[in-house]
Amino acid sequence: MGTLAADADVRVVAELASWAPPSVAAELAAHPHAEVRRAVAADERAPPAVLAALLIGEGLPPARWCPVCEREETPFVHEPRCPRPDRDLLPGASCDGSHRSTAHGIREMALRNLATPACAVVRFADPPSVPLRRSLAARPDLPAEVYGRLAVDPVPGIRADLAGNPAIDTALMRASADDRDHDVRRGLAHNPRVPLDVLVRPA
């Protein structure tokens, strides 16, 4: 496993990082390539403190490369209608020297990872990132106050994801049942803990 962790092909190292045991994950969290760090952020066996560091962006040396800057001169943004067929970057992938899009991916993976401590994720319950708040809305381990903030989020998709989360309390479920957006009510309809009177009450 040590040989794979030092492989010259970043794709090999990232594949290892996505499931590595705690000691290896802790080592790979400081890998110079941001894509390897993104894979560690998704690893449910990674140490919670390491996942928190990846999420917050503190306590680790800065990454030196990402999938964008290893191929393109920065600053660079991959346009959705890129005319070059040889580019396999995702639309919108960008790097200005801070590995912006991959850093965002690291945070998103860490927020989805239930091994990341709840105390580290709660700071992402507020704007500006919609994808990060959506990842947060599905977590089962947040304080009630954070669920309450997400329940009044201006983005319907976030409220919909929250409505389908069995961890929210009955009061939030009832509030979701009265939400003006039908996607929120649809999300609630998939929640297995919805009170019976909310399921069958007359329109």
Q: Report d(CA 169, CA 145) in Å as an integer.
A: 11
78-90 burial code (b ≥16 CB/10 A, e <16): beeeeeeeeeebe
Write down the residue that tokens 């983005």 correspond to.
155
Select the more confidently predicted residue: 129 or 20.
20
Q: How far apart are CA 105 and CA 63, in angstroms?
A: 14
pLDDT at position 86: 53
For the chain, give every domain's residue range: 1-120, 125-203
Q: Which pTM was predicted?
A: 0.85
Q: Model confidence over 64-95: pLDDT tens digits?
A: 998 887 787 777 776 776 666 556 666 777 77
103-112, 126-135, 194-203: range with lowest mean pLDDT: 194-203
- Residue 7 tokens, joined: 């492989």
Task: Quick: pLDDT tens for 23-74.
Answer: 999 999 999 999 999 999 999 999 999 999 999 999 999 999 988 877 877 7
